[in-house]
Amino acid sequence: MTPVQRRVQQWLDVYCDPQADAAWLLCDRHPREDVALTFVADDLTVSPLTYAELRDRSARLAAVLRRRGVGRGDRVAVLIPKGPGLPVAVVALWRIGAVHVPLFTAFAQGAIEARTTASGARLLIAEASQRVKTDGLRDVEAVDLTDLEREAQDIEPLSDRVAVGGDGQLIEIFTSGTTGAPKGVPVPLRALAALESYLHFSLDVRSDDVYFNAADPGWAYGLFCGLLGPLATGCGAVVATAPFTPAGTVELIRRLGVTNFAGAPTMYRAMRVAGVEPALRLRRASSAGEPLNPDLVEFGRTALGCEIRDHYGQTELAMVAGNHWRPGLARPAVAGSMGQALPGFTLGIVDGQLAVDTEHSPLMWFRGYVGDPARSAERFTADGRWYLTSDLAHLDDAGNLYFESRNDDVILAAGYRIGPADVEGVLVTHPAVAEVAVVGRPDPDGIRGEQVEAFVVLAPGHAGDPALGSELAGLVRTTYSKHAYPRRIHFVEALPKTPSGKIQRYLLRDRPST
């Protein structure tokens, strides 16, 4: 067994234990005086939350919830913005063996009700500013976090904890809806082993780092890698309570001395488009959520102090591949590649899709969607050996993985299979392009089957006119491929996205032709 394999096995021994206890592992085992999370307001006021505070507040809240009848296995939805109240609430749930159903605070009532109904949540805990969204919800009781914490002041902290074991469910999170209706994903406690592997090997978070994951914990990457991972490892993390802005993020990084930063490609693009030249000196910069455009790698070197390394994961998997940062495992990053398999996972290509070898991936934890055996079966080969991501990809001889497109997004034009990410990667290099999404739409002449069309958000100071459209199409023809250039280019104000920032290409495909 190699040192890397031994490290993975150590995590498995901890998190797969039948007596594993989430509140102990994520809070109580850490030194009380250590800072669990550092919250930063929009004026850069800093509010540290120690493990002692997290332990006391969550134990009191757990006592209140138990008195209200919440127990092991009960689903409880949480609609709380980024702030100390969020970790307090979720750790309180795990103390009594309840299941956390994350709700993104940008959701409107329809999205909230869809998730509370699908999960069968018996309770919804909302922060005061979000409470209005819960009025009129059916089949779930909504309570104000402030009222619960006021009640908790006059109650003895819960002294016991519920050990759910490695297979016990901690979270029921819903997929982002990039390609259709969101699906419920049950996350067991043993998934924490995969999160430790990612923070250690891919992000290379160290004890002396100031680690800032800018993703929102209402979604998988922020919840898994900005909240659970840091609480599991005890490494601490910065949490920005204000909405993302390029200038605000740069100033936060500078003021707090952030050394290890992770965020979505849209964040890096926004910083580049805004003309931010921070001349920061990050030790590590990482990206996840969508393919990283190659031009952003150079932006990282010049503006952030280090290259930005692309990583890959799904709500159903957490993170499974990346251009790892950890010395001894790190390789020179290859342009356009999302890296190699994360230790603890074995990846391959099955029917053109990126796939996880379940027999040789000890960190694999997903078994199927909640209450949906048909869609669950679609994600695995008939023998159960491979989990199919539905993401088209290829693998080179050196073991580097390359994302091509979602299976649903591939464009079939005149017999060619065209991945939109490749065309987008060319178009976004043009200075007039801030963002772009490429899709296949029916060929009006009925000859090519589909034709490539691009939806372009312009950078400030540029106008969308036929001349620019021709220039962009020509750029693809001359630098990428004559068969893949966009036959139509639409200049739009914004691209449709999920609340987590992923582009919903299926909505672009369904737009009426003009």
User: For the chain, how big is the Rg over CA atoms in Å?
Assistant: 23
Establish if 222 belongs to a structural domain.
Answer: no
Establish if 114 belongs to a structural domain.
Answer: yes
The answer to whether 307 and 325 are in contact (CB under 8 A) is no
Which of these, 501, 503, 482, lies nearest to 492 by C-alpha position? 503
pLDDT (tens place) for every residue of the chain, 514 residues total: 899 999 999 999 999 999 999 999 999 999 999 999 999 999 999 999 999 999 999 999 999 999 999 999 999 999 999 999 999 999 999 999 999 999 988 887 888 888 999 999 999 999 999 999 999 898 899 999 999 999 999 899 999 999 999 999 999 999 865 555 678 999 999 999 999 999 999 999 999 999 999 999 988 999 999 999 999 999 999 999 998 888 899 999 999 999 999 998 878 888 887 776 667 889 999 999 877 877 788 888 888 989 999 999 999 999 999 999 999 999 998 888 999 999 999 999 999 999 999 999 999 999 999 999 999 999 999 999 999 998 889 999 888 999 877 666 667 675 555 768 778 888 988 999 999 999 888 878 655 667 899 999 999 999 889 999 999 999 988 877 666 889 999 999 999 987 667 788 888 888 877 6
Measured between alpha carbons, how far is 22 from 189 in angstroms, rounded to an integer? 7
Three-state secondary structure readout of 157-172 = CCCCCCCCCCCCEEEE
Measured between alpha carbons, how far is 323 from 317 in angstroms, rounded to an integer? 17
Tokens of 165: 């074991």
Establish if 328 belongs to a structural domain.
Answer: no
- Position 106 scores a pLDDT of 80
Establish if 257 belongs to a structural domain.
Answer: no
The total number of structural domains in the chain stands at: 2
Give the contacts of 38 (CB within 8 A, at least 6 positions apart). 46, 47, 48, 49, 236, 237, 238, 239, 256
Q: Which amino acid is at 227?
A: L
The answer to whether 412 and 450 are in contact (CB under 8 A) is yes
Establish if 152 belongs to a structural domain.
Answer: yes
Measured between alpha carbons, how far is 498 from 506 in angstroms, rounded to an integer? 12
The answer to whether 346 and 356 are in contact (CB under 8 A) is yes
Tokens of 216: 């929102």
CATH number of the structural domain spanning residue 445: 3.30.300.30
The answer to whether 248 and 212 are in contact (CB under 8 A) is no
Tokens of 27: 């809070």
**Of the residues 149, 169, 189, which one is the last residue of a structural domain?**
189
Establish if 444 belongs to a structural domain.
Answer: yes
- Position 91 scores a pLDDT of 98
- Measured on CA atoms in the order 468, 473, 477, 481, is the torsion positive or negative? positive
- What DSSP string describes 320-339? EEE---STTT--PPPTT--B
- What DSSP string describes 19-59? T--HHIIIIITS-TTSEEEEEE-TT--EEEEEHHHHHHHHH
CATH number of the structural domain spanning residue 96: 3.40.50.980
The answer to whether 368 and 379 are in contact (CB under 8 A) is yes
Q: Which amino acid is at 9?
A: Q
**Of the residues 165, 189, 213, which one is the last residue of a structural domain?**
189
- What DSSP string describes 163-226? ---TTSEEEEEE---SSSS--EEEEETTHHHHHHHIIIIIS---TT--EEE-S-TTSHHHHIII
**Of the residues 138, 162, 189, which one is the last residue of a structural domain?**
189
Residue 364's alpha-carbon distances to 86, 317, 330, 453, in angstroms, are 27, 7, 22, 37
- Position 408 scores a pLDDT of 63
Domain membership of residue 120 as a residue range: 51-189
- Position 175 scores a pLDDT of 82
- Position 181 scores a pLDDT of 63
- Position 282 scores a pLDDT of 94
Establish if 428 belongs to a structural domain.
Answer: yes
Establish if 293 belongs to a structural domain.
Answer: no
